[in-house]
């Protein structure tokens, strides 16, 4: 059975950046399962998986536009330290949910100064090519529940 719309596929992957550093990897005993066509994985990888079968291996270099998008400098802001009232120690790398006019936005602290904090609302992988090494483990029809929910059932 081939990976296609409305089917569930499970795959093992290793994700690296252009320098060859491993960014993420699926556990050896737990392939990542997703509902094809539901936007559960980055679009570029979903396109590369279309038509593949269990046992197939592939590599895919996914451009930022087909992954987490380009970096937007406008999402980097300096905010007053007082915006973190109640947080004892703000450190680079910490993440917070900011309220914006467009809704909630996850921001990462990149720099802490005595009176201000620099936060970045870009996804940490925005602007980067993503290099996937993939092995398809399983392809099956989605259940009605999975189709209705738009994602793979937790027990799957």
Helix (H, G, I), strand (E, B) or coil at 107: strand
Instruction: Specify if 2 maps to a domain.
Output: no
Whether the Cβ atoms of residue 132 and residue 15 lie closer than 8 Å to each other:
yes
| CATH code of the domain containing 98 | 2.40.10.330
Of the CA atoms within 13 Å of residue 150, those in its CB half-sphere come to 4
Considering the domain architecture, whether residues 53 and 79 belong to the same structural domain is answered as no
- For 97, the enclosing helix (H) or strand (E) is strand 95-100
Output the pLDDT for position 156. Answer: 44
Within a 13 Å sphere around the CA of 136, how many CA atoms are in the beta-carbon half? 26
Are residue 40 and residue 110 in the same domain, yes or no? no
Residue 145 is assigned to a structural domain of this protein: yes
Q: Structural domain of residue 55, as residue ranges? A: 7-68+126-149
Residues 57 and 131 grouped into a single domain: yes
In a domain, 62, yes or no: yes
Q: Is residue 31 part of a domain?
A: yes
CA-CA distances (angstroms) from residue 60 to 17, 67, 73, 96, 132?
Answer: 12, 12, 27, 32, 5
In a domain, 25, yes or no: yes
CA 75 from chain center: how many Å?
Answer: 18
Q: pLDDT 10s per residue in the chain (156 long)? A: 999 999 999 999 999 999 999 999 999 999 999 999 999 999 999 999 999 999 999 999 999 999 999 999 999 999 999 999 889 899 999 999 988 888 898 999 999 999 999 999 999 999 999 999 999 999 999 999 999 999 997 754
Same domain, 49 and 90: no
In this predicted structure, what is the pLDDT of residue 103? Answer: 87
């Amino acid at each position: 059975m081939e990976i296609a719309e409305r089917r569930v596929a499970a795959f093992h992957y290793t994700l690296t950046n252009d320098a060859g550093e491993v960014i993420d990897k699926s556990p050896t005993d737990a392939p990542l399962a997703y509902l094809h066509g539901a936007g559960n994985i980055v679009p570029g990888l979903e396109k590369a998986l279309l038509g593949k079968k269990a046992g197939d291996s592939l590599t895919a270099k996914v451009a930022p536009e087909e992954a987490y998008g380009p970096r937007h400098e406008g999402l980097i802001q300096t905010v007053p330290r007082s915006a973190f009232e109640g947080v004892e120690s703000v450190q680079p790398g910490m993440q917070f949910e900011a309220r914006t006019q467009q809704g909630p936005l996850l921001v990462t602290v990149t720099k802490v100064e005595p009176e201000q904090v620099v936060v970045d609302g870009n996804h940490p992988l925005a602007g980067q090519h993503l290099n996937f090494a993939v092995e398809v483990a399983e392809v099956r029809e989605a259940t009605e529940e999975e189709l209705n929910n738009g994602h793979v059932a937790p027990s799957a």
